[in-house]
Amino acid sequence: MEHKHICVLPPEAVAEQMAAADRVRALWQESGQPSPCVLVMTFGCQQNEADSEKLLGMALRMGYIKTDKPEEADLILVNTCAVREHAEQRALSIIGQYKHLKAARPSLIIGVFGCMVSQPHRAEQLKKSYPYVDFALGTASLHRMPSMVLSRLRQGKRQFCPTEEVYPIAEGLPIERSSGYRAWVSVMYGCNNFCSYCIVPHVRGRERSRRREDVAAEVSELVRRGYRDITLLGQNVNSYGKDLGLGYDFADLLAELDGIEGDYTLHFMTSHPKDADRKLIDVMAASSHVAHHFHLPLQAGSDEVLRRMNRHYTVEKYMDILSYIRQKMPDCVISSDIMVGFPTETEADFAQTLDTLRRARFDMTYSFIYSPRRGTPAADMPQLDEATKGERMRRLLDVQNAISLQINQRHVGEILRVLCDGASKNDPHTTGGRTDGNKLVFFDTNEDLTGRFLSVRIDRADTFALYGTVVK
């Protein structure tokens, strides 16, 4: 079957937005006012971070300069998340705070983007209850930001577009990366899995893979410009290529990218266990640039809960993948996502999750209390009370923290490669970085080593970080 790349937005549509961006820039120049400022606020996952770099890239092309101060901004772009209720409430509360900014400065333009907006009831709520929001675009239409701003500068109507018929891939948008040495590269968008608790497939559409040549060109360019750490992103990154029907899968893509010469590390996330096949693990083990790091969400350690979550694997299947990873890459850092309090999760189910954590021995986990999402099947199942969910979360953290501490302490005495991120945010007297396995490392240095690979000898470890001395 010939693949027609129907998912890729026609280049003319991108050109139209760039023309709108240039028009906005010209309007500001003609006004004789100083350069306007843009603030981009981001909630949610790396996928959203990557999208926000495109929002900022387009805004700079429109003549705006970046600010971190809301009161300075002429344009505020809020990129939202909907994965849990808390994420939505935080975004709504921030947007609520912009009301007085707009009152003080009526020319301020406020646009809202992302997964929360892609839910029609939220787009409606923004339109009705947040009259100072100028426009809202769902994940399918992020690239239309320049024409929205242009229209508002010309006194056009407020617009609210939660979804589109298709979720196109917009290639060639300007990207303003937040780092000069770490980069995100989205390789596919959307999700087909419909885990019963999850809003993502409802707000990001079906799986669409970028063309391999577009991905390879972007990664090569980043390596050429000196980027040291490149993370390939997808909600379901290891199902890359399935929609293209070319018989070229994620393992093939990883092997191709690994062939790019240079001093850099490749990461990828997030993988789904159902698509974590031996071929992918073999490619990782044989590669020269792919980090020995696997983020593989387990979610629950009870087969019954996994079935009700619609995860398409059993605990044993998952454990088989883990042992193959460890057989091929004994030094592989493995992290996972765990959810507690899924509807109808019994004490016995939860005990199996704890038991599975003890068997799996993850380096670290990200754990979440289940949050009902409107329109997903799990939201209609019998719910657990908040006290039970909270208590299980605490027990989960106790078990995992003890494991993380033990594993981290095994690194003491080792010399690990660390990509330096500069002064730590919490303590400017210490410097931080991350290992290839994405573990946080702190060390002292008098030099600015930001963006460099270092060899660090680990002297001590706690649950959340390693502490060491630079040896090279």
Residues of this chain that interact with ligand SAH (CB under 6 A) are: 83-84, 197-198, 200, 235-236, 270, 272, 297, 299, 337, 339, 368, 370-371, 373
Name the binder of 194 from ligand SF4, ligand SAH, ligand F3S, none, CB < 5-8 A by kind: ligand SF4
Name the binder of 339 from ligand SF4, ligand F3S, ligand SAH, none, CB < 5-8 A by kind: ligand SAH
Does 339 help bind ligand SF4 (rule: CB under 6 A)? no
Measure the N-to-C terminal CA separation of the chain; round to a whole number of Å: 53
- By 3-state DSSP, what share of the chain in percent is helix, strand and coil, each rounded to 5? 40, 20, 40
Amino acid in position 454: L
Judged by CB under 6 A, the chain residues 300 through 359 that form the site for ligand F3S are none
Binding segment (CB under 6 A) for ligand F3S, from list 24-32, 42-50, 345-353, 416-424 = 42-50
Binding segment (CB under 6 A) for ligand SF4, from list 17-25, 47-55, 186-194, 412-420 = 186-194
Residue with smaller CB distance to ligand SAH, 351 or 381: 381
Q: Which of 44, 47, 13, 14 is nearest to 190 (CA)?
A: 47
| Ramachandran category for residue 103: left, alpha or beta (phi over 0 → left; psi -120 to 50 → alpha) | alpha
> Beta partners for 416?
456
User: Residue 444: CB partners within 8 Å, gap ≥ 6?
Assistant: 429, 430, 431, 469
Output the smallest distance, CB 281 to ligand F3S, in A: 25
Binding segment (CB under 6 A) for ligand SF4, from list 101-109, 193-201, 249-257, 360-368 = 193-201
User: Residue 409: CB partners within 8 Å, gap ≥ 6?
Assistant: 461
Question: CA-to-CA distance for 431 and 429, rounded, in angstroms?
Answer: 7
Output the smallest distance, CB 283 to ligand SAH, in A: 20
Contact 408, 462 (CB under 8 A): yes
Binding segment (CB under 6 A) for ligand F3S, from list 105-113, 198-206, 282-290, 357-365 = 198-206
Name the binder of 149 from ligand F3S, ligand SF4, ligand SAH, none, CB < 5-8 A by kind: none
Residue with smaller CB distance to ligand F3S, 7 or 290: 7
Contact 192, 201 (CB under 8 A): yes
Residue with smaller CB distance to ligand SAH, 312 or 457: 312
Residue with smaller CB distance to ligand F3S, 8 or 50: 50
Does 146 help bind ligand SF4 (rule: CB under 6 A)? no
Residue with smaller CB distance to ligand SAH, 223 or 325: 325
Q: Before 80, cis peptide (omega within 30)?
A: no
Question: CA-to-CA distance for 89 and 338, rounded, in angstroms?
Answer: 22
- Select the residue interacting with ligand SF4 from 126, 195, 223, 357 (CB under 6 A): 195
Any alpha helices (H) in 40-169, and if so which ranges? Answer: 46-61, 85-97, 99-104, 120-129, 145-153
